[in-house]
Amino acid sequence: MQYTININQRSVIENGWNLSFDDMAVFDFMSHFILEGALSKHVIQGKDYFWISFSKIREELPMLSGNSDSSIRRHISNLVRVGLIEKCDDEISIKNRISLYRLGKSFPKYWHRVNPSKNNDTPPNLEGYPSKNNDTPPNLEGYPSKNERVTPPNLEGNHNTNISDYQYQNISPNGGLSASALVLQEEKKEKTKTKSKKEPTIVTQGRNIFEAYFEKKTGEKYYWKAADGAQMKRLINQLRFSRENRGLTISDKDLIGALQVFLDKITDNWMLANLSVPNISSKYNELVAQARKGKGQIGIILRNNTDDKYLNQKIKQWK
């Protein structure tokens, strides 16, 4: 697999070739394949052509959006159309049913650093191709030299921004981050670590209080369900309503404190035997009424709270 794909977008745009990323990915692979002097070379009419199998392209470029034979053939046709690739139409290739390619006439207009073969720094039969030690592309007027800072081309709708000296200071000569940039990076990490965590919601605070209360009363851990969260919110709203009617403050701290007091005053055996958030929330009004009646002692009798109990009482009354 070809790990890195190099595409000179500036050259493609300025030359008006209207090629896609997939087209240029195929071209990047084919140009390297040809320039490295692959073994599949065929000399036809004094020109070097190369056979490149579609399966090889699929193998080297697995990220192509379309990698069927027809898709790859379409990408190559687009490259042939703009002259980056030249296809051999000789009778030999047609007779043998093989497609042979070489770099086309438009290739000198396209440039990026490539790695020609070790023994031949200039690609075969391609006049004007840059030598190994020449970083300026041929026939591309105004292209920046090796040591020149690059400003993106002035495309419509694109706002050019020169790279500031500060940005260059953060780049070391070998391409990594400079010492100052590393210091800034570490400082940013420290600031992130020191950021205070978000305060838990009032429902979460209520859950923590109830779970501790439940464990104290039963000696067991409370199994919290999603429905308990909704009932805890309802219970807190009930406490808020009661405090508002009495003209008391209703901050989160006040409500959590009221919840703790409310739970501590429950003494009824049935409620303690069936202790759960939904039960307490559903019997809130009864517990409050009993507390007022008993001067703070919440002890409502709820030992038998089934429908049969009330039905039997009415039957006795009728008799």
* pLDDT of the residue at 313: 54
* pLDDT tens digits along 246-269: 899 999 999 999 999 888 888 778
* pLDDT tens digits along 99-130: 889 999 999 888 654 444 444 444 444 444 44
* pLDDT of the residue at 95: 64
- Is the pLDDT at 31 greater than 80? The verdict is yes
* pLDDT tens digits along 129-143: 444 444 444 444 444
Average pLDDT rounded to a whole number, residues 41-58:
86
- State what percent of residues in the chain have pLDDT above 70: 62
Residue type, 20: S
* pLDDT of the residue at 118: 43
What is the dihedral angle through the alpha carbons of 134, 139, 141, 145, rounded to the nearest 10 degrees? -10
Among 81-85, 164-168, 206-210, the minimum mean pLDDT is found in 164-168
Identify the residue with better confidence: 241 or 97. Answer: 241
* pLDDT of the residue at 27: 92
* pLDDT of the residue at 290: 74
Query: How far apart are alpha carbons 15 and 21 in whole angstroms?
Result: 15
Whether the Cβ atoms of residue 208 and residue 236 lie closer than 8 Å to each other: no
Q: Residue 138: helix, strand or coil by DSSP?
A: coil
Structural domain boundaries of the chain? Answer: 9-145, 202-318
Pick the CATH number of 9-145 from 3.30.70.100, 1.10.10.10, 3.30.565.10, 3.40.50.720: 1.10.10.10
The pTM (predicted TM-score) of the whole model is: 0.36
* pLDDT of the residue at 317: 52
Query: How far apart are alpha carbons 170 and 131 in whole angstroms?
Result: 32
Which range is most confident: 1-5, 29-33, 253-257, 310-314? 253-257
Query: How far apart are alpha carbons 96 and 268 in whole angstroms?
Result: 97
- Is the pLDDT at 8 greater than 70? The verdict is yes
